[in-house]
Amino acid sequence: MNETFLFDALREATDEEMQRDPSVFILGEDVGHYGGSYKVTKDLHAKYGDLRVLDTPIAENSFMGMAIGSAMTGLRPIVEGMNMSFLLLAFNQISNNAGMLRYTSGGNFKIPLVIRGPGGVGRQLGAEHSQRLEAYFQAIPGLKIVACSTPYNAKGLLKSAIRDDNPVILFEHVLLYNSKQDIPATEYFVALDKAELVKIGNDVTIVTYSRMRHHVMEAVNYLINDGYDPEVLDLISLKPIDLDSIVKSLRKTHKLIIVEECMKTGGIAAEIIAQINDNYFDLLDAHIVRLSSQDIPTPYNGNLEKATVINPQQIIDSVKLLLA
């Protein structure tokens, strides 16, 4: 086991897959000589050359189209978004091309494409750099969407995504790059369609993902001291949602809280609530609690920014109120 930063875990995954398969390459803004905006691709251009670690112009729609075209012809591109907010400029390519071409070509083309990069609410990055795009892309057919939360699942998810023959979006939270964890020195993979059972419990099921996993676990440590016993699931897969794991937990706890950094309107929690109400309503002993960000552009002001995002105290209060 080696103690590894999350950004280094992603770099290790990229390096290992590029070394194994010459069809894997990286493209994006400043991924080459600069090493990526959060150093995920640091020094890779020196090892693999400028054509496999390709610096692109600031033109997201153009280099996303190039990546999709290269995937159609047999390469396995990894697109780094300098900030995932900028990928809205490539929304047409991701939705109408990456998500649909395997279907509209009658299966004649595969799109083994990985789109990854930093997102989420940082520390005073302003509204345009604090987007949470998971709900935007969740409605697009043909995509797989995952969100890493630890160095361990970051590396395993990226390796699995690179080897998948479908387009995969990997969301990385900007505030988790410097998180550390012991990860295996030997090769491993994390499934793209399974939630992770973080903590076993009996009182209430808490479903979360990405940075909110850490807020939830901070809250859970306080709750345990007060005699509560929550069960915690890290979704990891946002499309498809691992409903089976949620339902398995609900059959035991019969109460559900969903904690997300996504916007409340049309968010990931909204989709989970709809699916539970449609198919497993009888398992519930109480209404589902949804803890989501405020439906406003994220303020630049630090105190106002904090007020828009769920914090551990709100999770503690919600659990106690639900179990009262």
Known catalytic residues? Answer: 60, 129
Parallel/antiparallel/unpaired status of strands 289-293 and 180-183 = unpaired
Strand runs labelled E in 19-167: 24-28, 53-55, 76-80, 114-119, 144-147
Place of tokens 């807020």: 215
- Structural tokens at position 228: 């509560």
Sign of CA dihedral 133, 134, 139, 141: positive
The answer to whether 281 and 259 have CB atoms below 8 angstroms apart is no
> Can you list the alpha helix ranges (DSSP code H) found in 115-267?
134-138, 151-163, 212-225, 243-253
What's the Cα-to-Cα distance from 95 to each of 8, 92, 136, rounded to whole Å?
A: 30, 5, 10
**77 preceded by cis ω (within 30°)?**
no
